[in-house]
Amino acid sequence: MRRIDWSTLDAAGRREALARPARRSQQDVVDVVRKIFDDVHARGGAAVADWSVKIDGFAPRRIAITPETVAAARDALPPTATRSLRIAAENVRVFHQATRPEDTPFFETTPGVRSRLVWRPIRAAGIYVPGGTAPLFSSLLMQAIPAEVAGVRERVVVTPPGKDGGVHPAMVYAAAEAGLDAIWLIGGAQAIAALTYGVVLDDGEIPACDKLFGPGNAFVAEAKKQAAALPRGPAVDMPAGPSELLVIADRDADPEIAAADLLSQAEHDADAQVILVSESRANIDAILAEVERQLETLPRADIARASLTEGRAIRVRDMAEAVEVANLYAPEHLALQTVDAEALVDRITAAGAVFVGAFAAETLGDYAAGPSHVLPTDGAARTLGGITTASFMTCMSVQSVTEAGARQLAPVAARLARLEGLEAHARAADLRSGG
């Protein structure tokens, strides 16, 4: 990890210190994704199949979630694993049921003029679940369950095939816990293109989806961006690319815990980025030494080491400067490992999820705490939040006006319309004024 003294940097140096890995926006990623999209637009399912074979080595497959497939998945997993999956699914469902938006009552702004907000689920959600080097069944729970709670009728889940072309039994079991009837084994930009255009494949049809969800590598993130830019293209949840974690650790923070948290995100992907911020040079030294010690026994050490080349260890003068760094970076995950962690939360303005105190491991949020772990990356946390039930819904205003209310408000609206030079607007109001 690169060491940086924040107080010695000018504005340009600080921007460079907090830059995301260059690969996330490299032109070759943009060009490959555009080529895939153009091909799928022209050839449909045949192009999706060809790109799947070329990139992943396997044609797309639909895995039906039936009693038989679920029983086989259950038998392939230890009982402790299935029990943990059920607990995690239930926590996710409970949290999202509790935070589901509700229709508001009517509010009367003028006598006889009443308005309210109502919420409706979207029609079809395309849900991308990362895979490849690891079966991230947790991302399935964190998306498909909020969509179910929202009332989405059509949830289309895609995930890359495993190295053997199959699917991990935990993914099947998670799909059953989320109430899905099938999952598709398709990965990468070709999966996003399939969800965008709708395609017919050998195993069935994938419909064009209204909104796309899910984290992924640089190619998936770019594919979502290109999908949203198409005329009448789908909406997308947020930029949700390779994982990010910023840890604020004061001089009293436990180096072993801080190092473990940094590595928990670094092992995700070579494009993941972890940042350590502390006012204590001694604790930075201790944490980085712990990182090296723990790396020696990590199964995914090579991936973590590649990620750590884009890591930063930033020394600040005090906690106020640490908060400044965190808000400028706007991390996907922010861990506050300080004695006054609760007090710092009110000063945080930009983060996807905040983990407060030494016991709040980011890993707990990844799997089982309840809130979705699908969160904005690349600084998008300055303006966007993570997936909630509301992410799978639309909000409409409903306005009800009595004759008396129209008589009172229509003249106001008509005057304002004429002030803007919109005479037809004004006449439509005049017709309601009773004059």
Q: Is residue 301, in this structure, part of any structural domain at all? A: yes
Report pLDDT for 132.
Answer: 63
Q: Is residue 367, in this structure, part of any structural domain at all? A: no
Report pLDDT for 104.
Answer: 97
Q: Residue 24 above 60 pLDDT?
A: no
CATH number at residue 126: 3.40.50.1980
Structure tokens at 101: 């938006």
Q: Is residue 37, in this structure, part of any structural domain at all? A: no
Q: Is residue 112, in this structure, part of any structural domain at all? A: no
State which residues form the domain around 292.
Answer: 2-18+241-361
pLDDT bin (cut points 50, 70, 90) of residue 133 is low
- Asked if 302 and 228 sit in the same domain, the reply is no
- Asked if 249 and 221 sit in the same domain, the reply is no
In the chain, the percentage of residues whose pLDDT exceeds 90 is: 90
Q: Residue 401 above 90 pLDDT?
A: yes
- Asked if 68 and 207 sit in the same domain, the reply is yes
Report pLDDT for 23.
Answer: 61
**Mean pLDDT on 140-153:** 97
Q: Is residue 24, in this structure, part of any structural domain at all? A: no
Amino acid symbol at 313 = A
Q: Is residue 28, in this structure, part of any structural domain at all? A: no
CA–CA separation, 271 vs 165, rounded Å?
A: 24
Give the model confidence (pLDDT) of 158-199 as tens digits: 999 988 899 999 999 999 999 999 999 999 999 999 999 999
Give the model confidence (pLDDT) of 211-267 as tens digits: 999 988 889 989 999 999 999 999 999 888 788 999 999 999 999 999 999 999 999
CA–CA separation, 300 vs 270, rounded Å?
A: 10
Give the model confidence (pLDDT) of 345-370 as tens digits: 999 999 999 999 999 999 999 999 99
Single residue among 329, 361, 393 that ends a domain in this structure: 361
Query: Which residue reads 């969160």 in tokens?
Result: 375
Single residue among 237, 271, 287 that ends a domain in this structure: 237
- Asked if 13 and 70 sit in the same domain, the reply is no
Q: Is residue 51, in this structure, part of any structural domain at all? A: yes
**Mean pLDDT on 294-309:** 94
Q: Residue 106 above 80 pLDDT?
A: yes
- Asked if 66 and 166 sit in the same domain, the reply is yes
- Asked if 208 and 283 sit in the same domain, the reply is no
Report pLDDT for 54.
Answer: 96
CA–CA separation, 17 vs 5, rounded Å?
A: 10
Average pLDDT of the chain is 94
- Asked if 291 and 344 sit in the same domain, the reply is yes
Cβ-contact 2, 13 below 8 angstroms: no
- Asked if 231 and 245 sit in the same domain, the reply is no
- Asked if 344 and 250 sit in the same domain, the reply is yes
Give the model confidence (pLDDT) of 79-91 as tens digits: 999 999 999 999 9
Single residue among 237, 272, 298 that ends a domain in this structure: 237
Structure tokens at 160: 């890359």
pLDDT bin (cut points 50, 70, 90) of residue 435 is low
- Asked if 253 and 232 sit in the same domain, the reply is no
Report pLDDT for 367.
Answer: 92
pLDDT bin (cut points 50, 70, 90) of residue 430 is very high
Q: Is 146 left (phi over 0), alpha (psi -120 to 50) or beta?
A: alpha
Q: Report pTM.
A: 0.90
Number of folded domains in the chain?
3
What amino acid positions are annotated as catalytic residues? 332-333
271: Cα separation from own chain's centroid: 16
pLDDT bin (cut points 50, 70, 90) of residue 344 is very high
Q: Is residue 370, in this structure, part of any structural domain at all? A: no
Helix runs in 201-252, H state only:
218-229
pLDDT greater at residue 59 or residue 434: 59
Report pLDDT for 215.
Answer: 87
- Asked if 216 and 172 sit in the same domain, the reply is yes
pLDDT bin (cut points 50, 70, 90) of residue 25 is low
Cβ-contact 258, 338 below 8 angstroms: no
- Asked if 245 and 215 sit in the same domain, the reply is no
Report pLDDT for 271.
Answer: 85
